[in-house]
Amino acid sequence: MATQITRRRLGPDFTKLWWANAISNTGDGLVLAAGPLLLASLTSDPSLVAGAVFAQRLPWLLFGLLSGALVDRWDRRRVVVVVNVLRGLVVGALALAVLTHTANIPVIYVSLFLLGVGETFADNAAGTMVPAVVEADLLPRAMARIQYFQIVGNSLLAPPVGAALFVSAAALPYGIDAVSFVVAAVLTSFIRIERPAGRPERPHLKTEIAEGMRWLWAHNVVRLMALSLCLMNITLTAVMSIYVLYAEQRLGVGGAGYGVLLATFAIGGLPGALIAPKVFDRFGPAVLLRVGLVIETSVHLLLALARSPWAAGVVMALFGIHAAVFNVVVGSLRHRAVPDELRGRVASGFMLLAIGGTAVGALLGGFVARTFGITAPFWMAFGAMTILTTLAWRRFGTVRT
């Protein structure tokens, strides 16, 4: 059965969606490196730098559930097209501000907030489009392909290019990112999606939001994955928020070494994305979810003990493999489980928990490291993940496709 699946094509509409995702993610990868460099050129205050991350995550907490309900009401393809054009305009305006030396902290915060608002709509809508253009048994393969180029473009290739472009012409990475959004919008506009006829009368938005959240909470597997990802993101963001200090103070590496350590995560993610659909078919989601819990717990322990950048690099590569496989498994299970008419609302509730975890983790990591030492967030993460693994082990063992 697995051999038959791998020989079937994902189709031209998925190809357009994949290219749109790949191009916009590569543009974002340029800014992933250029953004911190721009902030560092304006301020040396760590709280202001961290505030930029919070500004981009805040819209998920404010508008995540609302955007999911609206995505289920509207034409999802049109949502992605319009929002990508608007995001391109926002990044283009930021590029102009950088070019004219008028960019400052408030301008950056407002730009990131607006981009975050757009992200709540575009990510919800684009995510719901995948099962609309791909058959259910091909979802692991489709998710793996999307995941693979997100790693290559967004995490591995684009950041060093973005840093180099920023040094030569600070506005250039932002200008390219703006163009990437527009190109992605054009590609998405050519995707053909047949949506089922909507309900003649729609209930109030609050009723629809509640309907999506009730479905999420009532579905044992989706609820468990959402709660698990929330805690996993709290622990992961807690350690990654101080990772640059950990690399300097614990491992004794400078900026270049820190960049290499981050790259090892992406390097590990490449084979992870390649093997994800095969191991999904071979072992099934229950085994992979359990193995993922063990690996993530072990990564925090090993990083807490590591004193060599080589050892930390190997651990980060292992984590990259795990993250790619885990994301494919979770995404495939969720897309298969959620009815089409609820996909936007359930996805928004899912992301609210996941991204809410990153916001909490970012605040928690700095406090714990400052109070108890640079390795304390890793020990905290190890303890929390041990508890999660113990509680979720039996329940993950019952998960089926």
What band does 363 get if pLDDT is binned at 50, 70 and 90? confident
Determine if residue 202 is left, alpha or beta; phi over 0 gives left, psi from -120 to 50 gives alpha, anything else beta.
Answer: beta
Distant-in-sequence, close-in-space partners of 41: CB < 8 Å, separation ≥ 6: 170
- Band of residue 131 on the pLDDT scale cut at 50, 70, 90: confident
User: How high does pLDDT run on average in the chain?
Assistant: 84
Q: Are 49 and 105 in contact (CB under 8 A)?
A: no
Contact 385, 232 (CB under 8 A): yes
CATH 1.20.1250.20 fits 1-196, yes or no: yes
In the predicted structure, residue 4 carries a pLDDT above the cut 60? no
Average pLDDT over residues 173-197: 85
Structure tokens at 149: 């180029």
Give the pLDDT confidence of 72-97 residue by residue, as tens digits: 788 888 999 999 999 999 999 999 99
Considering only residues 33 and 42, tell me which one the structure prediction assigns the higher pLDDT.
Answer: 42
- High-pLDDT (> 70) share of the chain, %: 91
Of the given ranges (29-33, 120-124, 269-273), which has the lowest mean pLDDT? Answer: 29-33
Token couple for 56? 């981009």
Whether pLDDT at 165 is above 50:
yes
Check whether 3 has a pLDDT greater than 50: no
Distance separating alpha carbons of residues 330 and 289, to the nearest angstrom? 8
Q: Give the pLDDT band of residue 114 (cuts 50, 70, 90).
A: very high
Domain ranges, ordered by start, for the chain: 1-196, 205-401
pLDDT of residue 7: 52
Note the pLDDT of residue 334.
87
**CA–CA distance, 56 with 109 (Å, rounded to integer):** 8
pLDDT band of 45, cuts 50, 70, 90: low
Q: Average pLDDT of 300-316?
A: 94
- Residue with structure tokens 């900026």? 255
Residue 136: per-residue pLDDT: 77
The residue type at 342: L
Res 11: pLDDT: 81
For residue 44, the model assigns a pLDDT of 66
CATH placement of domain 205-401: 1.20.1250.20
Q: What is the pLDDT of residues 214-264, one digit of tens each?
A: 898 888 888 999 999 999 999 998 888 777 778 888 988 865 677 677 778
Residue 49 has pLDDT above 70, yes or no: no
The region of weakest confidence among 46-50, 271-275, 313-317 is 46-50
pTM equals 0.72
Does position 384 have pLDDT exceeding 90, yes or no? yes
Tell me the DSSP string of 187-232: HHHT----PPPPPSS---HHHHHHHHHHHHHH-HHHHHHHHHHHHH
The pLDDT of 286-306, averaged and rounded, is: 95
Residue 306 clears pLDDT 90, i.e. is over it: yes
Do 1-196 and 205-401 come out as alike in CATH topology? Answer: yes
The pLDDT value recorded for residue 175 is 93
pLDDT of residue 147: 74
Residue 398 has pLDDT above 90, yes or no: no
Of 331 and 43, the one with more pLDDT: 331
Q: What is the pLDDT of residue 255?
A: 58
185 confidence band (pLDDT: 50, 70, 90): very high
